[in-house]
Amino acid sequence: MTKEHRDFVLIKELYHCTQKELDEQDESVLQLHFNMLQEEKKYEYIEQKRAEQKAKMKSLSNKK
């Protein structure tokens, strides 16, 4: 992922600021926040899949 795309994601989902304001932030902090955001999205995806599996299993057990 390019720095530009990373910055776009951070502005849109976390910082809600201008590009100029984001450029004033420390690069290591931006990367840390981006990594944390990515991990959070992975966790949410896993939880969603887990809920889908539970619903499917419940649906299958109700058919018996």
Model confidence pTM above 0.75 = yes
**Cα–Cα distance measured from residue 49 to residue 55, given in angstroms and rounded to the nearest whole number:** 10
**Cα–Cα distance measured from residue 59 to residue 15, given in angstroms and rounded to the nearest whole number:** 41
**Cα–Cα distance measured from residue 58 to residue 64, given in angstroms and rounded to the nearest whole number:** 10
pLDDT band at 1 (very low <50, low <70, confident <90, very high): confident
**Cα–Cα distance measured from residue 30 to residue 25, given in angstroms and rounded to the nearest whole number:** 7
Q: What's the pLDDT score for residue 64?
A: 62
Closest CA to 22 of 37, 40, 5: 5
10, 34 Cβ separation under 8 angstroms:
yes
Average pLDDT (43-54) is: 97
How many folded domains does the chain comprise? Answer: 1
What residue numbers bound the domain in which 43 lies?
A: 3-62
